């Protein structure tokens, strides 16, 4: 394998607290040197001037629809979209058909990811068989096959006793439970956030307390059992406050939010565009601001995409009948740059920590660093690059984003995985 030299980059490495112009020499799939100036005639040179170079991004929460819905996404098309968005590792959720509830399906996903060869794909195993919320899966077998945690994502485990046993079982292996915190009885299939906007539009709302009630329950169970809890797609002010308090009390909890929860508020639903219909719903402006504050003060550990592809015909149904979810791999970096970085709400080091170091630590993988000897997983970002979101530019098989047709700022230029270029943006 040939050597590679990245010249003149602004290197941001949270692990070493580095934010400076550096050259990076890659040799034998690893980073050999990170210095102010490196000369190596034998290395392939990549001009990184005006680019921000960070450890390969890690997405803790996405949906590849494989097995079950190849018309919406597959491991292959999802991997193509992921690397175009800057991700060198992704965690796929188990709400597939059939669910990821046995080692055979875990093995299938790893084999598909290896065949495709674009990014690392780590399955999250189901907490309960068929995701029915009744009988626990074989955690040990799933972990042995390579699952990185457990979730019934798409649904909450409603039975408190089942959830308690899931925590106790997961503690034996020291792996996290990824919870989808929505009480279905309170949410009542709400189409958007319950509030002034939903009242004005005449749409059934899902109240913030539907999320917060499950967050509170799971924090209590995590405290009681001493197990690891990871709360998915946090969207409300009250949930952030509950998590902040629990962390101070020593509860072993981490959490994530998604770009659409700090980029939009529920007023965007006035368009009746079903691509804004997600679960949990896009919340109020007060919730949006609380999410940003939670990111800033460290209450929220990670930024994930919740990439949720759906075919166009289903998203074009009447709003009430359209499925929940939007794609997110390819627009995440732009939304983060435009809302958090350019508006000076967060700095690059803090943002990249939430997309590299923290996710890597949570699922215990060797990633998230640009330092001598580390695996050469690298994302190169053009922060000022303007681009228009169009269907032909999107690698995902599904195109369900409300940003279609919008001009965004900031785009991934190159992605390197284990020393090999896996994605290059065509000018």
CA 182/CA 234 separation, integer angstroms:
10
Classify burial at 426, counting beta carbons within 10 Å of its beta carbon; exposed 0-12, middle 13-18, buried 19 or more: exposed
User: CB neighbours (10 Å) of residue 41?
Assistant: 7
Token output for 113: 């990811």
φ and ψ at residue 421, rounded to 5 degrees: -70, 120
CA 98/CA 19 separation, integer angstroms:
45
DSSP string, 6-55: EEEEEEEEGGGTEEEEEEEEEETTEEEEEES----TTSEEEE-TT-EEEE
Cβ contact 6:46 at 8 Å: yes
Cβ contact 403:51 at 8 Å: no
CA 422/CA 57 separation, integer angstroms:
13
Give the SS3 label for residue 298. Answer: coil
Classify burial at 49, counting beta carbons within 10 Å of its beta carbon; exposed 0-12, middle 13-18, buried 19 or more: exposed
What residues does 229 pair with on adjacent strands? 177, 253
101 flagged as catalytic: no
Give the SS3 label for residue 136. Answer: strand
Token output for 152: 């019934």
CA 70/CA 121 separation, integer angstroms:
17
Count of alpha carbons within 13 angstroms of residue 105, beta-carbon side: 24
Which of 287, 306, 384, 392 is flagged as catalytic? Answer: 306
Smallest CA-to-CA distance from 191 within 324, 39, 303 is with: 324
User: CB neighbours (10 Å) of residue 172?
Assistant: 10
In SS3 terms, 257-297 reads as: ECHHHHHCCHHHHHHCCHHHCCCCCCCCHHHHHHHHHHHHH
Calculate the CA 65 to chain-centre distance: 15
Cβ contact 195:206 at 8 Å: no
Classify burial at 314, counting beta carbons within 10 Å of its beta carbon; exposed 0-12, middle 13-18, buried 19 or more: middle
Please identify every residue annotated as catalytic. Answer: 306
């Amino acid at each position: 394998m040939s050597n590679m030299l990245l010249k003149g980059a602004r290197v941001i490495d949270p692990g070493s607290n580095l934010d400076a112009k550096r050259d990076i020499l890659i040799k034998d799939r690893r980073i050999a040197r990170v210095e102010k100036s490196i000369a190596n005639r034998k290395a392939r040179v990549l001009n990184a001037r005006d680019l921000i170079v960070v450890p390969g991004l890690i997405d803790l929460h996405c949906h590849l629809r494989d097995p079950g819905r190849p018309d919406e996404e597959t491991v292959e098309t999802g991997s193509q979209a992921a690397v175009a968005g800057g991700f060198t590792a992704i965690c796929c959720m188990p709400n597939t058909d059939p669910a990821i509830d046995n080692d055979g399906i875990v093995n299938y996903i790893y084999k598909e990811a290896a065949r495709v060869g674009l990014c690392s794909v780590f399955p999250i195993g189901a907490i309960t068989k068929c995701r029915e919320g009744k009988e626990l899966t074989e955690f040990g077998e799933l972990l042995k096959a390579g699952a990185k945690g457990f979730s019934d994502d798409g649904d909450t485990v409603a039975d408190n006793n089942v959830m308690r046993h899931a925590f106790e079982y997961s503690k034996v292996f020291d792996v996290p439970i990824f919870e989808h915190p929505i009480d279905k009885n309170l949410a009542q299939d709400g189409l958007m956030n319950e509030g002034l906007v939903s009242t004005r539009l005449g749409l059934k709302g899902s109240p913030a307390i539907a999320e917060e009630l499950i967050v509170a329950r799971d924090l209590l169970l995590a405290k009681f059992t001493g197990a690891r809890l990871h709360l998915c797609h946090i969207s409300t002010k009250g949930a952030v406050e509950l998590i902040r308090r629990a962390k101070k009390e020593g509860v072993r909890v981490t959490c994530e939010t998604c770009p659409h929860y700090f980029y939009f508020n529920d007023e965007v639903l006035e368009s009746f565009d079903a691509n804004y219909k997600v679960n949990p719903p896009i919340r109020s402006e007060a919730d949006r601001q609380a999410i940003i504050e939670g990111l800033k003060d460290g209450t929220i550990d990670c930024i994930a995409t919740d990439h949720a592809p759906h075919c166009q015909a289903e998203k074009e149904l009447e709003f009430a009948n359209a499925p929940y979810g939007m794609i997110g791999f390819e627009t995440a970096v732009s939304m983060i740059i435009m809302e958090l970085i350019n508006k000076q709400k967060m700095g690059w080091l803090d943002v990249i920590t939430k997309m590299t170091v923290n996710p890597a630590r949570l699922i215990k993988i060797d990633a998230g660093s640009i330092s001598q000897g580390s695996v050469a997983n690298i994302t190169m970002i053009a922060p000022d690059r303007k681009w228009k979101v169009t269907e032909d530019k999107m690698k995902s098989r599904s195109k369900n984003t409300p940003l279609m047709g919008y001009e965004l700022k900031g785009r991934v230029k190159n992605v390197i995985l284990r020393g090999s270029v896996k994605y290059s943006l065509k000018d």
